[in-house]
Amino acid sequence: MRKIESSTITNAVKDLCAKSNYNLPDDVLKSVNASIFQELGVSRDIRDILEQIADNAAIAKKEKIPLCQDTGTANFFVKLGKDVYIEDGNIYDAINKGVVLGYVNNYLRKSIVSDPIERKNTMDNTPSNIYIDIISGDKIEITFLPKGGGSENASALKMLTPSVGWEGVKEFTLNVVKDKGRDACPPLIVGVGIGGDFASVGLLSKRTLLREIGSVNKNTFYAKKEQELFSEINKLNIGPMGMGGSPTVFAVFIATKATHIASLPVAVSIQCHSCRRMKISI
Amino acid sequence: MKINLQDLILNIKDIKVGQKILLSGDIYTARDSAHKRVIDILNKGEDLPIDLKNSAIYYCGPTPVKPGEIVGSCGPTTSSRMDVYTTRILKEGVKVLIGKGARSEYVVKSFKKNNAIYLVATGGVGALISKRVKKSELLVFEDLGPEAIYRFEVKDMPLIVAIDSFGNSIFNKICPTFINT
């Protein structure tokens, strides 16, 4: 058993909240810059938007100003080694304490209301969403995905019937992007979850947003389908901030899971261009 | 084109969809909860704590201000959530609304009817936009946290005219087949 004090987790989470909101991941920035190059001589308006995104990343990093005012719902994907013993507390409290310190001390926006109807702000951005997988070993790996409300609102889930197959999944995904994509700060990253059940397919689609842009799906069938959706979505003429042209998406990621003989659940998680994610290991 | 808010309002008919402008002047921030509260006050027939006549509203919920700074990160939020409030807000004399994303067809008509315009800022660039805010002041509804109403004095805020006072919408132009939900 490896003993880890809960304060170690809290402090690590506190730093994670701040750093991830100031630093756009390299793969995302690379996609932005590649798109600026592609748009050269095509559309001045679209290039301006992409250049603003790149300039924003530079300002945010240098001056420690949040990339986006929506510093998001705090989502944590945790791999907890089974040989870890957390002293003086539990992992949920340790992470939430880190969120309070991270968001309050670093002047990040508190975007959580305690009740969806009453809508009173909790003023410390908790509670966060914490998803834990138990793995072997004695380490804790925490991946943080602060996710804005605008892109989250564009996400959707549907229980399809098995007969519609891949074409049904594709049609649904394209419709989600068509209907709501331009309000979700494109260029987007689209996570498609297929299978599982109603409860698990949403998480499946969200978790796949943690993949790096440019990473290839290990399943060759779905690797091809990701490419297919990528090129179809980029033909929708939504473009950066819905101003037309392309790119509409930087990447499409698909994750699948076993499902019931009667079911074909599909969830489409929409991620904005300000795709903040960061991983630490304790 | 550089323009200050009062000149823009005086010459609103000259502003055309697709134009790029650098806006200067005083604007209010207000998003979901502030809108709801403003509408509630109007419905009760009470006086508003801010003057909406010939004003501009920016759909924005900034991050808190760090000590020694003017403003936090302050990009636009999705405008369509404010569609339900917009006709009423425009009736009160607001001439310029600023946000991101498309608007419903009935809202496009309200802009035309009320001789008002809708401008879009790039979403997700709150750090960049914060550099164009020269003063910020919390005005009312402090209890709403990030949804309180602030007054921003902006200088050269980069915007695109998305709906003009003739009811032309940039989004319909780009792809008229999209459904405006």
Q: Which residues of A touch B172 (CB under 8 A)?
A: none
State yes or no: pLDDT of B82 exceeds 70.
Answer: yes
State yes or no: pLDDT of A191 exceeds 80.
Answer: yes
How many whole angstroms separate alpha carbon B37 and alpha carbon B41?
Answer: 6
The pLDDT of residue B177? 41
The pLDDT of residue A45? 82
* Interface confidence (ipTM) of the complex: 0.93
Q: Which residues of B touch A274 (CB under 8 A)?
A: 124
The pLDDT of residue B180? 36
Per-residue pLDDT tens digits for B22-63: 999 999 999 999 999 999 999 999 999 999 999 999 999 999
Written as six digits, the tokens of A140 are 């804790």
State yes or no: pLDDT of B125 exceeds 50.
Answer: yes
Cβ pairs A/B, distance under 8 A: 136
State yes or no: pLDDT of B178 exceeds 80.
Answer: no
Decide yes or no: CATH 3.40.50.300 for domain B2-174.
no
* Amino acid, res. A29: L
Per DSSP, helices labelled H in A118-263 are 149-152, 165-180, 198-207, 220-233
The pLDDT of residue B39? 96
Nearest residue of B to residue A120, measured between CA atoms:
B144
Q: Which residues of B touch A182 (CB under 8 A)?
A: 101-102, 171, 178
Whether B35 sits among the annotated catalytic residues: the reply is yes
The pLDDT of residue B32? 95
The candidate with the shortest Cα–Cα distance to B63, out of B49, B42, B77, B52, is: B77
Tell me the nearest-neighbour CA distance from A69 into chain B, angstroms.
5
Of B80, B124, B181, the CB nearest to A272: B124
Of B102, B123, B131, the CB nearest to A59: B131
Burial category of B11 from C-beta neighbours within 10 Å (exposed 0-12, middle 13-18, buried 19 and up): exposed
**Cβ atoms of residues A240 and A109 within 8 Å:** no
State yes or no: pLDDT of A235 exceeds 60.
Answer: yes
Per-residue pLDDT tens digits for A163-176: 999 999 999 999 99
- What residues form DSSP beta bridges with B152? B27, B136
**Predicted model pTM:** 0.94
Mean local confidence (pLDDT), A79-87 = 96
The pLDDT of residue B181? 31
Mean local confidence (pLDDT), A90-95 = 96
∠ CA A252-B18-B83, nearest 5°, is 70
How many whole angstroms separate alpha carbon A85 and alpha carbon A223?
Answer: 39
State yes or no: pLDDT of B172 exceeds 90.
Answer: no
C-alpha distances out from residue B30 to A49, A145, B166, Å = 24, 27, 25
Q: Which residues of B touch A59 (CB under 8 A)?
A: 127-128, 131
Query: For all residues of chain B together, what is the average pLDDT?
Result: 93
The pLDDT of residue A6? 97
Q: Do B126 and A108 touch (CB under 8 A)?
A: no
The pLDDT of residue B173? 66
Query: For all residues of chain A together, what is the average pLDDT?
Result: 96
* Amino acid, res. A238: I
State yes or no: pLDDT of B179 exceeds 50.
Answer: no
Of B81, B124, B146, the CB nearest to A274: B124
Q: DSSP states of A154-167 as a string?
A: T-EEEEE-GGGHHH
How many whole angstroms separate alpha carbon B117 and alpha carbon B90?
Answer: 10
User: Residue A84, SS3?
Assistant: strand
* Distance separating the N- and C-terminal Cα atoms of chain B: 32
A176 inside 8 A of chain B by CB:
no
Mean local confidence (pLDDT), A19-47 = 88
Mean local confidence (pLDDT), A259-272 = 98
The pLDDT of residue A39? 63
Query: How remote is the C-alpha of A3 from its chain's centroid?
Result: 31
The pLDDT of residue B174? 64
Helix (H) or strand (E) holding A249: strand A249-259
Per-residue pLDDT tens digits for A37-75: 876 656 788 889 999 999 999 999 999 999 999 999 999
